[in-house]
Structure formats: structure tokens, C-alpha cells
Amino acid sequence: MAPSRVKEESPELDLKPRARKRRWDVVAPDTIPVKSEEDLESKLEAKLESVEAVPKKRSRWDEVEATPRKSRWDQAPSLEATPTGAAAMGMQTPLHPSVSAGGIPMATGSGLLPDEELDRLLPSEGYIILEPPAGYVPIVTPARKLMQTPAQTGSGSGFMMFDENTAVSAGMAKQIPTNIPGVGELQYFKQEDMKYFGKLADGSRESELSIDELKQRKILRLLLKVKNGTPPMRKTALRQLTDNARQFGAPALFDLILPLLMERTLEDQERHLLVKVIDRILYKLDDMVRPFTHKILVVVEPMLIDEDYYARVEGREIIANLAKAAGLAHMIATMRPDIDHVDEYVRNTTSRAFAVVASALGVPALLPFLKAVCSSKKSWQARHTGVKIIQQVAVLMGCAVLPHLKGLVDCIAPCLTDEQAKVRTVTSLALGALAEAAAPYGIESFDSVLEPLWLGIRRHRGKGLAAFLKCIGFIIPLMDPEYANYYTKEVMVILIREFNSPDEEMKKIVLRVVQQCASTEGVTAQYLRDELLPSFFKSFWVRRMALDRRNYRQVVDTTVELAQKVGVAEIVERIVDVLKDESEAYRKMGVETIEKVVAALGATDISERLEERLIDGILFAFQEQTIEDNILLNGFGTVVNALGLRTKPYLSQIVSTILWRLNNKSATVRQQSADLITRIAVVMNNCGEDVLLGKLGVVLYEYLGEEYPEVLGSILGALRSIVTVVGISEMQPPIRDLLPRLTPILRNRHEKVQENTIDLVGRIADRGAEYVSAREWMRICFELLDMLKAHKKGIRRAANNTFGYIAKAIGPQDVLVTLLNNLRVQERQSRVCTAVAIGIVAETCAPFTVLPALMNEYRVPELNVQNGVLKSLSFLFEYIGEMAKDYVYAVAPLLEDALIDRDQVHRQTAATVVKHIALGCIGLGCEDTMVHMLNLLMPNIFETSPHVIDRIIDGIEAIRNCVGVGIVMNYTWAGLFHSARKVRQPYWRLYDSAYVQSADAMVPYFPQMEEDEYRRNELDVWI
Amino acid sequence: MADKLRAQQQLEQLQTRYVGVGHADTTKQYGSHFFSQLEWLSNVQRDSLAAYIGHPAMLEHFSVALNEPQERVRVQFIDKMIQPCGPPKDKEEI
């Protein structure tokens, strides 16, 4: 216990009254400081003493009746159904009940304290305990006494929080019930639930309650089941709530649900469930919900601006359904007053809610209203909100605004020249959002606003200008090339002027707009080169820009975008000197830009002189880095690969850098240099530097003793890439030296190491197995078994493939023995992978080398082994495909046995084997066996376990493909109209899948009906 | 429970794509479920008719046998698809 340690360290705490009474300071009875000599008994005494000596000092919460001090913490949240009071006062912002509620002292009536607690609280001397008078009957009902939780008194007006250290609370904690009468066992029951659902447990008799109260309790019970119940419970409760929604009525339902939804401690899951309830009952209540529209909105609107994405989505969902239920007219009437509300928060949420309504009921329906709001003369707030609604509509609906774009733009166009700066700003933002949503269509809708926009950027300054520029940035990409060119030139003057703006926000917007303009078709490279580049580089390629993450990103992106137009050489020429700058962040910015530009456009543009400077700069940046990250590595790799053969003169210099850094004492440096080898190995090979590669190989080989797994993984990766490019036979060091060093590394558990080793070993097994002795390969086989249960799929796959290669190299017998033995292990994952490996071995070494041993293994009377064999057979037949036809008769008896086994898994796996065999030998004359298998599979279709039944059905379907739909249908007709539904169901499943796959082929096989009107008389026609 | 629900959803999805897909309530018994049974039989008939039309050789066979032009046979078959099992009947009749 952490607090107790603290207390023991501060001896002055001992029994002294504390100045501040906070619950954290309370000396918990268990943790009374004790001198080390004192034994347990004296500690206990001290504990009792302290309780008796300082009863008043303890400001424990359960002692409110002694000192009815009101603190915020003592106040129970109000139980008022909805914050109607708040709403009526004109505060649309829903206040949390705990804030708005008046203080209610908790724990009423000391009669609820158990005797032992009273004994401790009250002095034992000078008092006597009186016998209750003869006729006295306690008022508390037995049920209530049983629960002993004060919050459950009839008033239900408060709840208690207990000091966890007291004995009472230990008892009390147990009394937070998980079993509420009439509800059943819940998943959990929280303290907070007590104030909403406490009523259910107050033990009052049903016969004493009024109809309304009964209804309320019924709803509460259902809600509690939905919120805290197990999934099946939840489902039935939700259905009951939905079905009876109209009987319960909107008031009863929402008075209970809405306060729950406002609960601050509501978990995501609970909120989700409550939202689901509201959704369903809204649908049922339909127009009955109208009187509650406002209350619901007050609760739900704040969800629209929640941080949590899912909360926002759920808020939208409720409002959309509400709008559908209540109707547009009612929604408008309800939200109308909030549009010009004084509080910006309310206007903001209202605008979002309106956008949701618009997307739910269609923009055209709302457009006349929006037009009226946007041209409101009464207040600028209304206009502001109107424009904001349209902005939110664009954000919410995306390209779905296109059909209504003209109407929406015209609606807000006049606001662009509004007298209020705020309205103008939000209008340009809304226009930008509309253009972004509509891209790349809809420029014609913006015709009316082009002029005011471009006039605006000359007139405005500061924030207003930023918004206008942002809007223009989104509109220009929609334009035809020649217009885009003209308008870009118009705006560029302003942009270049704003390059020097000290405002960070403005800078970001300017960069964004430059990027958008540059990517437009109509803007020419010449223009950008002459007008933009000089000032752009002057203002943005400065050290300061590299320091802020967002600026950095923007500058890099914009420069790359510009490079698309003006070419690689132009940009690299300007940036190359940055690579030798003294600021590391700035160098990184340069490297990243060059990497992106070169990756996108290649390096053919780069002249010889520039190439020299580039390599020089990048080497400098690489060597000087203090924090190794991928940016430099990628940059280096990309540049070298892009230059290709032109790198040759610099290779020796690069390699010596790498060698030097491979020797570094920092692990990340070593790792990075090994990674770099992986990147440039191909280029080195192309440049004919195989000798250099050999040298690197030898050095890497010497570093195989590396202790950091990350680095070791990279080294192995580098070796692998060298082997790949130079070939097995040319490899330095020779394979016969390399592989024995790898065998112990296979035991390494690190994922990266495993992945790279297995890849390298697999490659060697595939291409150069003859360089290594069979015994060495067997040793590797044993190590590989462990890899079959690796977490990463890539490793398991590589290990399996390697088994195949090794089996091919040294013959399947030995490998197979290893694998078959591995089928006996306990671990399922391992067995499954072994089964796969056996399948692969069979595939690479022909099935007849494997099948006898495998089938022999099935004789082992052990469940795991037999299932493993079946599983291997399943993989085997999956891999060998058509080759299966030669082995059908051989495996048939085994499958027969498996298909009539008592064990479900036997039958299930055998069904999979049948499936793969059947699919493998379609049209190859194995129909007889397949019909036999069908006879064995058919009785299994009444299996209920989803895994089993799925496999069985799969098997039957595969056989259907093999023997034709007619034969299988003959098995099916009888069950389709069986009198028992349980029988009909699986048969219909068979019928449906057959129908979907081969309806046409079924036509000749439909049964002939006897009744005249159902007969297919055409079939009687003969020539 | 969840599996059942999922199966139900899958079936519905399948049914929107393939009209002829059936389920356990497509019973053959006369009586309360007569119309669903009729539905299955109608589907059988319609599928058959569609197959006759869809395979040119079949259509030719029928047209030769019935001594009618192929086009007319085709239209006949299409017409027959409307109520392949005759007009729906009231429950009392059965």
C-alpha cells in the first residue's frame, strides 16, 4: 500500500490533529504508524485509541451526520430528469448535473449505521445503551436494512462514497449489488448507477406503487439491462424497449434516458448502448418525440464536438434520426432560437446539428431556410451561424454537395462582402470547404464569388486575408488551365507579399495555397521559376522553418509540389547547400525534400557538377547526424539508387564511410550502416563493384557476433541482400563458412533477427544447398521447428518454405521424420505449422514419398497425431491439386475411418481433406470415390457447431463440383420440405449454395411435380 | 445467437442477389405456408423457362417440336414466367 509507506516515513503524523482535512490525509486505521518494536496487538490498540481520541478530527465522508460540512464532493448530482432549468434560463449549454445541482447532504439518518461502527464512534464510558421501548418498531423495512445502503432510501436523492479503509465500507462495497431484483445478474454495477437505478432495489412492493411508477421502474429495469447486462440480456431488453416504446411514451422514456446520457462517468460502451436505445425508440416514437426535440438536442449537441470520433458519429446518428422522426419544420422551429444565441459555443453546436439535419433530410429542403438565415438583417450572429451551417454541410457530406453546390454558394455569396469581419472570414472558409468537397468539379457554381474573393485579397489584411487565401487555394484547382493561370498570377502577388508575414498561421496557409496553385495545370514552370522560386526559397528555406514540425512538413510538401513543375535540377540546385548546413534539423529537411523529389522524378536531370555536390552533401549529412533516423537512410538510398551507374566513382568513399560507421560504438549507427548496405547493394552490383561487396560481406560476417538484436537483424539483412545480388557461388565469405554461423542465430527469439536469418537460410537452401553437408541441414531443420510457431506470419511462411527446400536438397525421409515427430507436441500453432510443412515437403518431393509415412502415422492411437495427419493431408491435397487423382483410392479408407469417427474434429478435418481432394480431381474420373465420401459426409449436416458444419458443407459443395449438381441434389430434395425446421434448415443451406453456384445446371434435375399446374409440361415435348 | 443473426443476414444478402434462394420457411406443405411453397415452385418453373430460352439449342428444340417460330416460343415462355403456377388461390380453396 503506497500511502502507508509515506506515513511511516513521517513520524510527526502520529496522533497529531491535522490542519487540513482532506480525505487523503486521514490516518487510515490500518496504517497508524507503529514503532518497529511494537507488536501487532499494540498496533491494534493504537488503532482503536486513535479512533476514540480524535473522533472529531476525522473528516471521513461517512461521518457527515456528525459534522454536516458541505463540500462540493459531498453533493450528489441532481436527479432532475433533464437540465430543463438550465435550458429555460436560456443556457443552451447543458451543464453537468453535478455542477448545476444544489447540495444535498448525503447519508440521511444514522439509524443506518451498523452497531459496531456506532460502538467505535461513540465513547464507551459515561454512556449506556438503552433498550428500545417495548412497542418500538423500526421504520426501516427489512429489505432496506438488508441492503444498508443509505442511497436506497425512498427519497433516492443521493449516494455515498465511502472511505475505503473503514471496516464499514469493506462491508458496503460488497453491497453494491450486481443483482437487482427483477433484473438478474448484471455484468457490473457502478457506483454512479446507484443514483439512477437505486430505486429498483429499494424493496417497495409492486402493489403499493402507482401505474406511472410501475412503468418507470419497468423502463429503468430495461435500461439497466441494456446498459449493464450481458449481451443476450441486452438484446431482449432492447427489443422490449423498442416494441413498447409507444406504450411507455416519450416523456417516461426520455426523462430516464437523457440524464443517464449526461452522466460524466459514462463509458464509451455505455454511451454507445444508450445511443442505440435512443435510435430505436426514436424510430418507433416517430412524431411523438416532438415535445422532447429540444431536450434531446441539448443533450446530444455537445457530442457533435466531442474529442472522440465515435462520440461525434453517434451524436450525428441521433440527430439524423431525430430529424427524420420530428420532421424538418419542427426541427427548424426548435433550433431557430439558438441560431443567434449570444454564446458562441451554442451557435457552433447548433450549426453542426443543422448540418446533420441537412444531410439527413436533404439539402434542398433546408436551402430556403438557410437563405433566409444568411441574409438575416437582424443580427450578424445569425448570418455567421447560417454560413457555418453550410460549411459544416460541406465537411459532412463531401462530394454529395455537388448537386446543390450552386444553391449553397449563392446562399452565402453576399456574406463575402458582409460588414462584419467574422462573417466574411467564415464565409470564405465555407466557400473553401465547399470547393474542397466538390473538387475537381463545380467551378461554374463559384463564378459569382470569384470577383469578391479576388477583390477581397487586395482589401483585407490579417486573419480575414488568411481565410480568403485559403478559400482561393481550394478554388484554383477546380479551374480550367487558362483561368487557373490568370487567377494564380493575380493571387501570387499577395502570396509573395505574405511570405514575409510574421504570423505562423498565415505562413502555413500561404504554403498550402502555393502548393495548390503549383499543382494546377495552367500554371507554367517558367512562371514559377521566374516569379515564385526566388522569394519562396528566400523566405521558407531558412533554418527556423525546420524547427517547427508542421512548418517543416508544409515546406517539404510544397517544395516537392513545385519540383513536379520546375524539375529536379532546379530544386536540388537550390537545396544542395542546405545539406552542409550546421543545423541538423535543417539538413534533414533538405535530405527529405531531395529524397521525395528524386524518388518521384528520378535523377536524370542532375548535372555532373550537381551530382558531385549532392553526393558530397548527403555523405556529410549522413556522417554528421546525431540522431539516427530513417530520413537520412532513405534519402541516401534513394539518391544512390536514382543515380545508378553514376554512383560508381563515389562508391569507394561511401563504402569506407559505411565500414567506419559499422565499427561505431553506438548501436543505432551500426544498424543504420548495415541498413544502408541493404539499400545500395543492387547499385554496387550494377556498378561492377563485386569485390567491394565481397569485402563488405566478410566484414558483416565478422560482425555476426553482434549483441543487439536490432543491429544483428540489419546485418543479416545486409548479408542477404549481398547474397541476392552476387549469387550463392560468388558469395564472400563462402556459403560453407557462412551457414554454420547462422545455425545458432536461428535460435534467437527476436523477430527481426528471425525474419532475416530464415530468409537468408531459405535462400541458401533454395539456391545453394549443395555447399553444405546434409547433417548441417538436419541441424537447421531442428532449429526451424521452433520457428513454425513464430508470431509473425512472414517468419512462419519462410520457415515452411525452407523445409520444402531442405527436403528437396537432402531427400524427404529425414525431414519427414522430424516433422512427424513434431505432430506429437502439445502446442496447436506448432502442429498446424508442421502440418503445413509436411504439405510443402510432399509438394516439393512428390506425394508418394510422403504419403506412406504419413498414413502410417495415423495408426498412432492419439487424438493430436491423428488430427495432425488429417490436417497435413488437407494441406497436402490443397497444394498438389490435380496430382491428387492418383492418390484418391489410397487415402479413401483412411478418410472413411476419419469421417465416421466419434470425434468432431476428426470429421471436420476429414471433410476439409475431402474438399481439397474433390476440388483437385474435378473431371478426372474419381466420381465413384467422391460419391462414397458424400455418403459419409451427408449424415454430418445436422452438426451445430459452426466450425464443423462449415467444413462439412464445404466438403459437400466441393463434391458437388466434382460429381455434378444433380447427384448432390438427389440427396437434398428429401430434406427441403421436411416437417421439422431443424431438418429443413441445413438442407436449404445446401440448396441455396447449389443454386447460387449452378442454378442453370439444376434445371434438368428439379423433381417432377404430380399436380398438373406445377408440372413442367415443356419437358414432355419430344421430337 | 449471434451466429443465427449472421446467417440470417447472409441469407438476406444472398436473396437480394438471387431471387431463387430459399430458406427453411419455404415449406412444401399446403396450408398456412401455401404461398411460400408456391414461391419455390414458381422459381423452379421460372428457372426452367429461363434455361430453355437461354440455351439456343433448347429453344430450337422446342420451336421444332411445337412447330412455332423460335421468337414466338421465346415470348410464350417469357409470358409464362408471369404466373407459372397459375393465378394465386385463396386459402379456402385448398
How does pLDDT run across A880-903, given as a tens digit for each residue?
Answer: 989 999 999 999 999 999 999 999
Choose among A589, A558, A554, A561: nearest CA to A575: A589
Q: Collect all residues of chain B within an 8 Å Cβ-Cβ radius of residue A986.
A: none
Task: Between B20 and A293, name the one with better pLDDT.
Answer: A293
Residue B34 has pLDDT above 70, yes or no: no
Exposed, middle or buried by CB within 10 Å (0-12, 13-18, 19+), for A771? Answer: middle
Lookup: cell for A554: 508544409
Q: CB-CB: which of A988, A1014, A1018 is closest to B24?
A: A988
Interface of B with A (CB under 8 A): 1-3, 11, 14, 18, 20-24, 26-29, 37, 40-41, 44-45, 47-49, 51-52, 54, 61-62, 64-66, 77, 85-86
Q: Please report the pLDDT score of residue A127 as a whole number.
A: 74
Lookup: cell for A800: 515452411
Q: What percent of chain A has pLDDT over 90?
A: 49
Domain limits, chain B: 22-94
Give the Cα separation of A215 and A758 in Å (integer). Answer: 68
Please say whether the structural domain A205-326 has been given the CATH code 1.25.40: yes
| H or E element, residue A179 | strand A179-180
Task: Between A571 and A18, name the one with better pLDDT.
Answer: A571
Residue A64 has pLDDT above 50, yes or no: no
> Tell me, what amino acid is at A613?
R
How does pLDDT run across A919-958, given as a tens digit for each residue?
Answer: 999 999 999 999 999 999 999 999 989 899 999 999 999 9
Over its C-alpha atoms, chain A yields an Rg (Å, rounded) of: 39
Q: What is the mean pLDDT of residues A279-286?
A: 87
> Tell me, what amino acid is at A1021?
V
CB contact under 8 A, B45 and A1016: yes
Q: Please report the pLDDT score of residue A109 as a whole number.
A: 41
> Tell me, what amino acid is at A717?
G
Asked if the interface predicted TM-score (ipTM) of this complex is over 0.85, the answer is: yes
Give the Cα separation of A622 and A636 in Å (integer). Answer: 8
Q: CB-CB: which of A976, A999, A1016 is closest to B20?
A: A999
Mutate to test the interface with B, among A945, A949, A995 (most CBs of B within 10 A): A995
CB contact under 8 A, A1018 and B48: yes
Lookup: cell for A439: 473538387
The full 3-state SS of A197-241, as one line of letters, equals: HHHHHCCCCHHHCCHHHHHHHHHHHHHHHHHHCCHHHHHHHHHHH
Lookup: cell for A308: 472522440
Lookup: cell for A596: 521525395
How does pLDDT run across A319-336, given as a tens digit for each residue?
Answer: 999 999 999 999 999 999
Choose among A920, A915, A896: nearest CA to A906: A896
Q: Please report the pLDDT score of residue A437 as a whole number.
A: 94
Q: Collect all residues of chain A within an 8 Å Cβ-Cβ radius of residue B61.
A: 1021, 1023
Q: Please report the pLDDT score of residue A113 as a whole number.
A: 66
Mutate to test the interface with A, among B13, B19, B44 (most CBs of A within 10 A): B44
Closest Cα in chain A to B60: A1023
How does pLDDT run across A180-193, given as a tens digit for each residue?
Answer: 666 777 777 877 78
Residue A586 has pLDDT above 60, yes or no: yes
Q: CB-CB: which of A985, A999, A1006 is closest to B24?
A: A985
Closest Cα in chain B to A945: B3
Q: What is the mean pLDDT of residues A585-589?
A: 93
Which long-range contacts link A14-19 to residues 24+ away (Cβ below 8 Å)?
Answer: A15/A49, A15/A50, A15/A53, A15/A54, A17/A54, A17/A57, A18/A57
User: Nearest CA to CA, how far is B33 from chain A (Å)?
Assistant: 11
DSSP secondary structure letters along A927-993: HHHHHHHHHHHGGGGG--SHHHHHHHHHHHHHHHHHH-HHHHHHHHHHHHT-SSHHHHHHHHHHHHH
Give the Cα separation of B35 and B58 in Å (integer). Answer: 30
Q: What is the mean pLDDT of residues B17-30?
A: 71
Which A residues, 217 through 236, put their C-beta within 8 Å of a C-beta on chain B?
A: 231-232, 235
Is A328:A361 a contact under the CB 8 Å cutoff? yes
Q: CB-CB: which of B20, B22, B52 is closest to A1018?
A: B52
CB contact under 8 A, B22 and A1006: no
Q: Please report the pLDDT score of residue A313 as a whole number.
A: 92
**Residues A916, A922, A928, A932, Cα dihedral to 10°:** 30
Is A479:A439 a contact under the CB 8 Å cutoff? no
How does pLDDT run across A548-582, given as a tens digit for each residue?
Answer: 888 899 999 999 999 999 999 999 999 999 999 99
How does pLDDT run across A722-771, given as a tens digit for each residue?
Answer: 999 999 888 888 998 999 999 999 999 899 999 999 999 999 998 888 89
Mutate to test the interface with B, among A1013, A1020, A1023 (most CBs of B within 10 A): A1013
Q: Collect all residues of chain B within an 8 Å Cβ-Cβ radius of residue A1023.
A: 61, 64-65
Instruction: For chain B, say whether A126 makes contact (Cβ under 8 Å).
Output: no
Using omega within 30 degrees of 0 as the cis cutoff, is the peptide bond preceding A440 cis?
yes
Delimiting residues of CATH 1.25.40 domain(s) in chain A: 205-326
pLDDT grade for A674, boundaries at 50, 70 and 90:
very high
Residue A145 has pLDDT above 50, yes or no: no
How does pLDDT run across A501-539, given as a tens digit for each residue?
Answer: 888 889 999 999 999 998 888 888 998 999 899 999 999
Q: What is the mean pLDDT of residues A770-776?
A: 89
Cα angle A585, A586, A588 (rounded to 5 degrees) comes to: 65
How does pLDDT run across A451-475, given as a tens digit for each residue?
Answer: 999 999 988 888 899 999 999 999 9
Taking the alpha carbons of A949, A954, A957, A958 in that order, is the dihedral positive or negative? negative
How does pLDDT run across B58-93, given as a tens digit for each residue?
Answer: 999 999 999 999 999 999 999 998 888 777 665 544
Give the Cα separation of A67 and A74 in Å (integer). Answer: 12
Choose among A496, A448, A497, A500: nearest CA to A475: A448
| H or E element, residue A184 | strand A184-185
Q: Collect all residues of chain A within an 8 Å Cβ-Cβ radius of residue B1.
A: 231-232, 235
pLDDT grade for A73, boundaries at 50, 70 and 90:
low
Backbone angles phi and psi of A314, in degrees to 5: -70, -40
Give the Cα separation of A132 and A130 in Å (integer). Answer: 6
Bridge partners of residue A185, in order along the sequence: A179
CB contact under 8 A, B44 and A1006: yes
Q: How many CA atoms lie within 13 A of A546 on its CB side?
A: 18
Is A322:A354 a contact under the CB 8 Å cutoff? no
Residue with cell 536438397: A809
| H or E element, residue A185 | strand A184-185
Give the Cα separation of A39 and A43 in Å (integer). Answer: 6
Range list of H helices, A461-607 = 462-475, 481-498, 504-518, 525-527, 533-540, 543-547, 549-566, 568-575, 584-601
Choose among A711, A635, A632, A621: nearest CA to A666: A711
How does pLDDT run across A375-397, given as a tens digit for each residue?
Answer: 998 889 999 999 999 999 999 99
Give the Cα separation of A330 and A357 in Å (integer). Answer: 11
pLDDT grade for A146, boundaries at 50, 70 and 90:
very low
Q: Please report the pLDDT score of residue A601 as a whole number.
A: 93
Mutate to test the interface with A, among B4, B5, B52, B79 (most CBs of A within 10 A): B52
Which region holds residue A530: left if phi is over 0, alpha if psi is between -120 and 50, else beta?
alpha
How does pLDDT run across A401-436, given as a tens digit for each residue?
Answer: 999 999 999 999 999 988 999 999 999 999 999 999
Q: Collect all residues of chain B within an 8 Å Cβ-Cβ radius of residue A1021.
A: 61-62, 65-66
How does pLDDT run across A644-667, given as a tens digit for each residue?
Answer: 999 999 999 999 999 999 999 999
Choose among A669, A674, A590: nearest CA to A623: A669
Q: What is the mean pLDDT of residues A832-858?
A: 90
Q: How many CA atoms lie within 13 A of A961 on its CB side?
A: 17
pLDDT grade for B2, boundaries at 50, 70 and 90:
low
Q: Please report the pLDDT score of residue B36 as a whole number.
A: 57
Buried b / exposed e along A143-164 (16+ C-beta atoms within 10 A): ebeebebbbbbeebbbbbebbe
Buried b / exposed e along A461-492 (16+ C-beta atoms within 10 A): eeebbbbbbbbbbbbbbbbeeeebbebbeebb
CB contact under 8 A, B21 and A996: yes
Mutate to test the interface with A, among B10, B26, B38, B66 (most CBs of A within 10 A): B26
Using omega within 30 degrees of 0 as the cis cutoff, is the peptide bond preceding A232 cis?
no
Give the Cα separation of A9 and A128 in Å (integer). Answer: 40
Q: What is the mean pLDDT of residues A38-48?
A: 48
Over its C-alpha atoms, chain B yields an Rg (Å, rounded) of: 17
Range list of H helices, B18-69 = 34-54, 56-66
Give the mean pLDDT of chain A: 83
pTM beyond 0.90, yes or no: no
Give the Cα separation of A411 and A370 in Å (integer). Answer: 7
pLDDT grade for A138, boundaries at 50, 70 and 90:
low
Closest Cα in chain B to A1016: B45
Residue A960 has pLDDT above 90, yes or no: yes
Q: Please report the pLDDT score of residue A84 as a whole number.
A: 41
Q: Count other Cβ atoms within 10 Å, centred on residue A115.
A: 8
Q: What is the mean pLDDT of residues B26-36?
A: 48
How large is the angle between the packed helices A293-300 and A309-326, nearest 10 degrees? 170
Instruction: For chain B, say whether A977 makes contact (Cβ under 8 Å).
Output: yes
Instruction: For chain B, say whether A72 makes contact (Cβ under 8 Å).
Output: no
Question: Helix, strand or coil for residue A716?
Answer: helix
Taking the alpha carbons of A917, A923, A929, A935 in that order, is the dihedral positive or negative? positive
Bridge partners of residue A179, in order along the sequence: A185
Q: Count other Cβ atoms within 10 Å, centred on residue A924.
A: 13
Q: CB-CB: which of B22, B54, B86 is closest to A991?
A: B22
Task: Between A151 and B11, name the one with better pLDDT.
Answer: B11
Q: Collect all residues of chain A within an 8 Å Cβ-Cβ radius of residue B40.
A: 976
How does pLDDT run across A961-988, given as a tens digit for each residue?
Answer: 999 999 999 999 988 888 888 898 899 9
Give the Cα separation of A354 and B92 in Å (integer). Answer: 55
Q: Collect all residues of chain A within an 8 Å Cβ-Cβ radius of residue B21.
A: 992, 995-996
Which A residues, 882 through 901, put their C-beta within 8 Å of a C-beta on chain B?
A: none
Q: Collect all residues of chain B within an 8 Å Cβ-Cβ radius of residue A984.
A: 24, 27
Closest Cα in chain A to B50: A1000
Lookup: cell for A490: 493575380
Q: Please report the pLDDT score of residue A90 as a whole number.
A: 43
